[in-house]
Structure 1
Amino acid sequence: MLSVHDVAVTYSNGVTALHPTSLTFKRGQFIVLLGASGAGKSTLLRTLNGLVRPTRGEVRVEGRGSIFARRSALRAHRRSTGMVFQQHHLIGRLTALENVLTGRLAAHSTFRSMLPLPRADRMIALEALGRVGLVDRALHRADQLSGGQQQRVGIARAMAQRPETILADEPVASLDPATAVKVLDDLHRICREDGITAIISLHQVDLARRYADHVIGLAQGRIVFEGNPDTLRPDALDEIYHADQPRLAEAAE
């Protein structure tokens, strides 16, 4: 179980991206972070993976303590946490399989990772590609794949880590609606099958209602909503997106 305790983030320019926040993410849940751009969703996700060190507070893993207690604790946490990014972050000249295999590097020492990875790792990578329906594209260069396929390779790469937790920052923001549903279908199904805790930031209220077990709404770096997706009524959405933002409550009905 992952949790944050009184975590706040203020950047060097004086901007507070996340005000003091305490949350517990239950094991095996599919959790969606909702909020407008600049609401603090990305900062929260990056804090959960240790990419951003909080100005105050702690990020804890049940049974292990604070992820910032020592460097070995942070490395162990990152090995067990998969990341899916909005812009894929694939290496275009490498094949889909080679990109997925990068998800296995953290399982080896620095020296061992410089050598060809064992056959067992290749089998794990191929299995991960199969779970997103792309095993037939394993030897295709990443830059020859469609945007949706590239994002599914990104999911396979994260799954090749054999993670306990998946963090995804706007994973379908650049995709058309039909492709976004396909990508989230794959991610949701795999997390369910493997009991992985997923924390996903989204803009689309309809997708949050469709996939989330639990929704956390952020506005201006503060938690303004937390609850079941069925309780995402117009007043709650107004609180998340504010009157000066587009009224997504009407669009989502």
Structure 2
Amino acid sequence: MLGLQQASVTYPGGRTALTPTDIQFAEGQITVLLGPSGAGKSSILRLLNGLVPPSQGAVVRKGIGSLEQPLAMRAHRLSTAMIFQQHHLIGRLTVLDNVLLGRLGAWSWLQTILPPSRRDRLLSIAALDRVGLAARALDRADGLSGGEQQRVGIARAMAQRPSIILADEPIASLDPASAERMLGDLRRICCDDGLTAIVSLHQVEFARRFADRIVGVRHGGIVFDGPPAALDDHAVDQIYGVERPAGALAAE
């Protein structure tokens, strides 16, 4: 459905974050990009959502082709939602108003200066209900806990009505219980709606429990690609090296 064709990322100053990489992400599958900080996971996600262009190679999507042209990228982004590491909510707005921002891409310029339609408000409330936060719709976003704010991020992504969800370390700032709730909500929604999800994590056990496929990334290259059952100790050593950081196995 979506993939990289010999795509690489070299940032200004000559630092190579991703070596030439070929990978395809299957429709309706939850893929976890697993690896330590600086491995190249975020660079893959930034390529997939167009935040950085490939230094070489291409990003290709089924039905659209190469995303090099602006019109192709716009079509891709309209059906691709992003969940960020740090929520990126507007604290002074209500929870509902934050979720309604997921509808911006579907609005005409006139709709952006008019009050949201009843349809969009109902759609956004339904998205909040799916993550258990409909009762908090009229609360200010900055009054929610970190875990609740991240679940609002999921609802905002769902309000966009995407076919692809990209999530960059979405549980990095959460405690284990909140992280499990957030990933459980995300997996349930993706499975119910048949969505494709690509999620970067560094917690091995969460990857094993919530992914359909795990792609291990190290030093800007893919060192593992397989189902969770194949992620044995040898594979983990390939991804993290023998000296594994304590955080990598914190959920085990």
TM range (shorter): over 0.9
Question: What secondary structure does 2:32 align onto?
Answer: strand
Question: Given that residues 83 and 166 in structure 2 are in contact (C-alpha distance below 8 angstroms), is that contact kept between their aligned partners in structure 1?
Answer: yes
> 2-side partners of 1:205 and 1:214: how far apart?
13
Per-residue CA deviation, residues 32-70 of structure 1 (Å, 9 max, x unaligned), is: 0000000000110011001111101111111110112x2
Question: Given that residues 38 and 220 in structure 1 are in contact (C-alpha distance below 8 angstroms), is that contact kept between their aligned partners in structure 2?
Answer: yes
* Partner in structure 2 of residue 188 of structure 1: 187
**TM-score (norm: length of structure 1):** 0.96
> 2-side partners of 1:7 and 1:99: how far apart?
34
* Partner in structure 2 of residue 164 of structure 1: 163
| 1:117 matches 2:124 | no
1:150-229 counterparts in 2 under 5 A? 150-229=149-228
How many percent identity over aligned positions?
A: 60
1:133-144 counterparts in 2 under 5 A? 133-144=132-143
Q: 5+ unaligned residues in a row in structure 2: which ranges? A: none
- RMSD over aligned CA atoms reads 1.4
Aligned pair count reads 252
Question: What secondary structure does 2:88 align onto?
Answer: coil
> 2-side partners of 1:195 and 1:151: how far apart?
21
Q: 5+ unaligned residues in a row in structure 1: which ranges? A: none
> 1-side partners of 2:34 and 2:98: how far apart?
29
The ranges of structure 1 where at least 4 consecutive aligned residues each deviate by more than 4 angstroms after the TM superposition are 247-253
| 1:5 matches 2:5 | yes
| 1:76 matches 2:75 | yes
Question: Given that residues 80 and 163 in structure 1 are in contact (C-alpha distance below 8 angstroms), is that contact kept between their aligned partners in structure 2?
Answer: yes
> 2-side partners of 1:171 and 1:183: how far apart?
8
1:20-99 counterparts in 2 under 5 A? 20-68=20-68, 70-99=69-98
Give 1:36's aligned amino acid. P
Question: CA offset at residue 109 of structure 1?
Answer: 2.2
* Partner in structure 1 of residue 144 of structure 2: 145
Give 2:188's aligned amino acid. R
| 1:15 matches 2:15 | yes
> 1-side partners of 2:249 and 2:57: how far apart?
37
Per-residue CA deviation, residues 138-189 of structure 1 (Å, 9 max, x unaligned), is: 0000000010100000000000000010000010111111111100110000
Question: CA offset at residue 114 of structure 1?
Answer: 2.5
Question: Given that residues 28 and 198 in structure 1 are in contact (C-alpha distance below 8 angstroms), is that contact kept between their aligned partners in structure 2?
Answer: yes
Question: What secondary structure does 1:86 align onto?
Answer: coil
Question: Given that residues 101 and 121 in structure 1 are in contact (C-alpha distance below 8 angstroms), is that contact kept between their aligned partners in structure 2?
Answer: yes
> 1-side partners of 2:233 and 2:246: how far apart?
9
Question: CA offset at residue 251 of structure 1?
Answer: 6.4
Question: What secondary structure does 1:110 align onto?
Answer: coil
**TM-score (norm: length of structure 2):** 0.96
Per-residue CA deviation, residues 98-125 of structure 1 (Å, 9 max, x unaligned), is: 0000000000123422222211111110
* Partner in structure 2 of residue 240 of structure 1: 239
Change (3 A) 1:251 1:235: farther
Question: What secondary structure does 1:171 align onto?
Answer: coil
